[in-house]
Amino acid sequence: MVGRMSSEDSRTIPTQIQQSGSRALSIRWGDDVESVFDVRALRLACACAVCVDEWTGEYKLDPAAVPEDVHPIQITSVGRYAIGIGWSDGHDTGIYSFERLRSLADRDPSGLG
């Protein structure tokens, strides 16, 4: 990760991150692809230690406990590789690496929903 940037790297480097409306987060990537995420799906995809058991990988978050209108209230950059999202339901320990976001987007180009 030192020095030159290959095209492979630019795939996972956002050039723009913005909320579009209250339900969507759009990310434009270095290779000029734009991904639009449903924000609640992102909340459900949280992989922090509170939502997923660190040791067993067991999914601990109950989707029914996440409000339908959950949305980010704060988005912070974490180093150069990730964003942290503070959510309206009070959850703020989630970190989403750009690589993970890109792979989520690539798996389902229409979003996560």
For Zn ion, the binding residues (CB under 5 A) are 46, 48, 50-51, 94
Q: Give least dist CB 111 to Zn ion, A.
A: 19
- Residue among 39 and 51 whose Cβ is closer to Zn ion: 51
Helix, strand, coil share of the chain (percent; to 5): 20, 35, 45
- Residue among 36 and 48 whose Cβ is closer to Zn ion: 48
Q: Give least dist CB 1 to Zn ion, A.
A: 26
How far apart, in whole angstroms, are the C-alpha atoms of residue 43 and residue 6? 30
- Residue among 10 and 97 whose Cβ is closer to Zn ion: 97
At 57, is the secondary structure helix, strand, or coil?
coil
Q: Give least dist CB 76 to Zn ion, A.
A: 15
- Residue among 48 and 66 whose Cβ is closer to Zn ion: 48
Q: Give least dist CB 93 to Zn ion, A.
A: 5
How far apart, in whole angstroms, are the C-alpha atoms of residue 9 and residue 52? 27
Among 80, 113, 84, which Cα is nearest to 12's? 80
How far apart, in whole angstroms, are the C-alpha atoms of residue 21 and residue 92? 20
